[in-house]
Amino acid sequence: MSVDGYSGAMPKILVIGTGGTISCAKSENGLEPALSVSELLRGVEIPMEIHTEQPFNLDSTNMTSRHWETLARLVRVRYDEFDGFVILHGTDTMAYAAASLSCLIQNPRKPIVFTGSMKPMTVEYSDAPINLRDAVRFAADERAFGVRLVFDGAIIDGRCAHKYETENIDSFDSVNNDDYGFFNTDGEICFFEEYSGETRFYEHMSDDVFLVKLIPGQKLCVPSNVRALILESYGMGGIPDYLMEDVAKLAESGVYVIVATQCAYGGTNLGEYAVGHVDFPIIEVGKYTVEYAVARARWALAKSHNYQKFTDLFRGASNI
């Protein structure tokens, strides 16, 4: 029997539950994760071999890099057993999660798919059943690969996902990059890329990364343990004159200074304006999302012990 784009034996998929809105039920304090991944799958008809894991059941607001390292290890340990993986995750930090897994499992030949929902599975007109079904169908397609986010019919590269909407079901966008694919009106999966390269697994990320969103006139207050500072600046990037001395001192002390932009699209270009020209080492994110810049910096810090190595690792991602 074949399913969609998969020929031969029925695909074998591991669905990993982590909590999030998709699993929520009402409590006296509001919505909170309650349903297990097995319970979520009961109401969704999926004609393939499904196995489940439930490493935790959390609101994604409580997720950290330690949880994403756990997910990466779980996928690595069971990688040879399954044709694809689906991770059910809360939407609030799903873009950070997909970015982190994109660093910890780079260029996977098998699909590792994040999905969730804006409404709990048990609510009328929930988007949960179709998102879950789409994610599993995509994970089972032999043409699929990479860390992806499947949501409301879109298939997004995990390095480019950004949540831009808090209520509507089409809450994610692919920033500075076309969607990897999509489900058309007939429910067929359309792909734009073919796999090449090799899969690489990594274990750890560092938490010594600090993100500061600049507001006009503010001063910097950076914790002492910070090794990489991401400044979410304005427009194409740049350092305000009144912060230049403070940022220079941080760079001279060994902190890796990274400049991002508060604009969702377009990326940084520090050479465009005079405020982007500095006399100390600085790294610009280019077209990375802030979510991916954070994940990339955390991953690069865990693997490097000097500025040049960190820079090479941070900017080493391709096709963004």
Q: Where does residue 58 fall: left (phi above 0), alpha (psi -120 to 50 degrees), or beta otherwise? A: beta
Amino acid at 30: G
Among residues 21, 91, 93, 289, the one annotated as catalytic is 21
Which is nearest to 135 in space by CA: 226, 259, 22, 9?
22
> Could you tell me the strand order of the sheet in which 256-261 lies?
209-213, 228-233, 256-261, 283-284
Residues 291 and 69: their CA atoms lie apart, in Å, by: 16
- ∠ at Cα 163 (125, 94), nearest 5°? 85
Q: What are phi and psi of 211, to 5 degrees?
A: -110, 130
Which is nearest to 288 in space by CA: 211, 189, 195?
211
- Residue count of the chain, please give it: 320
Beta strands 146-151 and 154-157 are antiparallel
Cα 318 to chain center, whole Å? 16
Which is nearest to 58 in space by CA: 29, 104, 86, 91?
91
Does the annotation count 21 as an active-site position? yes
3-state DSSP of 70-103? HHHHHHHHCHHHCCEEEEECCCCCHHHHHHHHHH
Amino acid at 137: R
Residues 104 and 296: their CA atoms lie apart, in Å, by: 9
Which is nearest to 294 in space by CA: 197, 206, 182?
206
Residue pair 155/138 in contact by the 8 Å Cβ criterion: yes
Q: Supply the residues annotated as catalytic.
A: 21
